[in-house]
Amino acid sequence: MSDLTHLDKSGNPQMVDVNHKAETDREAVAEGIINVGKEVMAQLLRDNYSSKKGSVIQTAIVAGNMAVKKTSELIPLCHPLAINACSIDIEQFTDEELKITCKVKTHGKTGVEMEALTGVTISALTVYDMLKSLSHNIEISKIKLLTKTGGKSEFKRT
């Protein structure tokens, strides 16, 4: 296990110095599950994923993309990054769950894991917000990084 990179020698928080790192293509994919329940899912399917507030899926995708671009404003020690690509997919996973997947790409000195995780999280919160008039018994879970490429280390969840 390596040292925590966001702490200096005195234990104070710091932004990681990436000045010496090479710029490379970097990509991260994250996913999460939102359980809306069978009744809400049935209504979503009947209403073509629309609610009183509009298209649930399209609104959540836009919100997730916006959040990806603002990750460094939300997480204190994240580097601001130029996002070269972001795609969010929301699909029915089970008869009561939606699966949200976010893929983010950049060319830079640091990875986009936090951006992908933020995209999934804000998309899920947007689904919750748009459906809470139908039920508050909605659960967001299993938000996780699936893959990370580029830089000195790579990751693939097995």
> Residue 156 — very low, low, confident or very high, per pLDDT cuts 50/70/90?
very high
| Active site positions, annotated | 129
CATH of 24-149, one of 1.10.3720.10, 3.90.1170.40, 3.30.70.640, 3.40.710.10: 3.30.70.640
Question: pLDDT digit string (tens) for 127-136?
Answer: 999 999 999 9
Average pLDDT in the 33-46 region?
96
> Residue 17: which residues within 8 A CB-CB, separation 6 or more?
none
Domain spans, the chain = 24-149
Cα–Cα distance between 56 and 61 in angstroms, integer?
A: 9
Question: pLDDT digit string (tens) for 5-15?
Answer: 777 788 788 78
Residue 17 burial by Cβ neighbours in a 10 Å radius (0-12, 13-18, 19+): exposed
Question: pLDDT digit string (tens) for 46-78?
Answer: 999 887 788 999 999 999 999 999 999 999 999
**Is pLDDT above 60 for 1?**
no
